[in-house]
């Protein structure tokens, strides 16, 4: 287990951070912090040491350089189980940092704004944050790294139940989440910059983007394992985009029934996309018709309109009752 005695906290999104800091303080954890986070702690009587005081190096270049220091990264990366690491850190007067709490500059939110300039985008590319996150995630056996406010409550609960320690299973899971976050962050930066037409942007004094970026990076999150793949002897899993489109099949909830297979997902997607083309019959329009689509092996084998769901289904089923067996049914109501 990783015993937490010193934590470095530096966050852009300050949701829940006071509660975490107060819980750490009650467990006698020393807190290091930077800028606005340190200011927030001082204003709320949370004991905190500024990183610049800790390292003896004043932050510079408008805050671009503040945590890129051996006393920070040495404290995070030093392995407690290697005598040579312990001796080197002692010789250099570098204490251990056992917890890193960092969320990154809001690059994605910044570039999503219609009036975002290229300069604003560049200034919201975090350097020190990802470096600390990667260092802590690499040394996960000794360091807990938190990259999202949703993780705070469970970690606080574990710390309180153990008297200030975090299990290896927890630090490993946090490490995976940290590397995932850095991967998503770098992908967003690459996607944005790869789409910029620099010459046109300079001429118009605002970002001009190519229709197709020079590089497209995707991130997919596993939703569930599937019963089997396209054929029963194959294995499969269902993944979604990091930010799925509203109303897409992946946002649906399975209410009952056995685990889905690849073909169930593929047919359901085909049926849903087909019936969506009729619009919704729940919009209150007079005389609005209900649509029903039946799909088997990715092909519609029945499509019909009716004044009720039953009428639409009956017509769609009569189109090809044999192929409808075992198929997927979708309605626009």
Q: Are 177 and 103 in contact (CB under 8 A)?
A: no
138 included as an active-site residue: yes
Measure Cα distances from 149 to 42, 77, 155, 201, 234 in Å.
20, 23, 10, 36, 38
Average pLDDT, the chain: 88
CATH 3.40.50.1380 domain position(s) in the chain: 2-204
State whether residue 254 is helix, strand or coil: coil
Q: 63 pLDDT band (50/70/90 cuts)?
A: low
**pLDDT tens, residue by residue, 45-54:** 899 988 888 8
- Report pLDDT digits (tens) over 112-170: 888 888 888 888 888 888 999 999 999 999 999 999 999 999 999 999 999 888 999 99
Residue 285 — very low, low, confident or very high, per pLDDT cuts 50/70/90? Answer: low
- In the set 5, 85, 138, 315, the catalytic residue is 138
Contact 313, 329 (CB under 8 A): yes
pTM of the full structure: 0.78
**Angle (CA) 269 271 274, round 5°:** 105
Contacts of 278 (CB under 8 A, 6+ apart): 289, 291, 305, 332
pLDDT at 9: 93
Give the residue from 8, 3, 63 showing the smallest Cα distance to 30. 8
| Confidence category of residue 287, pLDDT binned at 50, 70, 90 | low
Would you place residue 282 in the very low, low, confident or very high pLDDT band (cuts 50, 70, 90)?
A: low
What is the CATH number assigned to the segment(s) 2-204? 3.40.50.1380
Active site residue 233: no
Which CATH superfamily groups domain 241-331? AICAR transformylase, duplication domain (3.40.140.20)
Write out the H or E segment, with its range, that includes residue 133. helix 128-138
Q: Where in the chain is the domain with CATH 3.40.140.20?
A: 241-331
Instruction: Give 211-239 pLDDT, tens digit per residue.
Output: 888 888 888 999 989 888 889 899 999 99
Tens digit of each residue's pLDDT (9 = 90 or more) over 162-208? 988 899 999 999 999 999 999 999 999 999 889 888 888 888 878 88
Tell me how far CA of residue 184 lies from CA of 108, 112, 242, in angstroms: 10, 15, 9
68-72, 107-111, 119-123, 313-317: which has the minimum mean pLDDT?
A: 68-72
By the 8 A CB rule, do 23 and 159 touch? yes
């Amino acid at each position: 287990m990783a015993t937490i005695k010193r934590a470095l906290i530096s966050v852009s999104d300050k949701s829940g951070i006071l509660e975490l800091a107060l819980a750490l303080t009650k467990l006698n954890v020393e807190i290091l912090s930077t800028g606005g986070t340190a200011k927030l702690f001082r204003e709320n009587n949370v004991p905190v040491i500024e990183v610049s005081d800790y390292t003896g190096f004043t932050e510079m270049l408008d805050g671009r350089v503040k945590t890129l220091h051996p006393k920070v990264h040495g404290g995070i990366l030093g392995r407690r189980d290697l005598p040579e690491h312990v001796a080197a850190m002692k010789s250099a007067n570098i204490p251990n940092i056992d917890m890193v709490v960092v969320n990154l500059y809001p690059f994605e939110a910044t570039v999503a704004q219609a009036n975002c300039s290229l300069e604003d985008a560049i200034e919201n590319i975090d350097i020190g944050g990802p470096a600390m996150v990667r260092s802590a995630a690499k040394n996960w056996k000794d360091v807990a790294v938190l990259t999202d406010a949703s993780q705070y409550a469970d970690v606080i609960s574990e710390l309180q139940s153990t008297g200030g320690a975090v299990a290896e299973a927890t630090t490993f899971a946090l490490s995976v989440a940290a590397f995932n976050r850095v991967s998503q962050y770098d992908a967003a930066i690459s996607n944005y910059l790869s789409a910029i037409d620099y010459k046109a942007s300079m001429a118009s004094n605002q970002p001009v983007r190519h229709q197709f970026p020079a590089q497209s990076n995707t991130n997919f999150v596993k939703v569930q394992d599937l019963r089997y793949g396209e054929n029963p002897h194959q294995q499969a899993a269902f993944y979604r985009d990091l930010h799925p489109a509203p109303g897409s099949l992946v946002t649906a909830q399975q209410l009952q029934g056995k685990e889905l297979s690849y073909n169930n997902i593929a047919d359901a997607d085909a049926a849903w996309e087909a019936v969506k083309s009729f619009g919704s019959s729940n919009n209150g329009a007079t005389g609005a018709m209900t649509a029903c689509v039946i799909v088997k092996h990715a092909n519609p084998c029945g499509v019909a309109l009716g004044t009720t769901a039953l009428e639409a289904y009956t017509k769609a089923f009569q189109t090809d009752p044999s192929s409808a067996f075992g198929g997927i049914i979708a309605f626009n109501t």
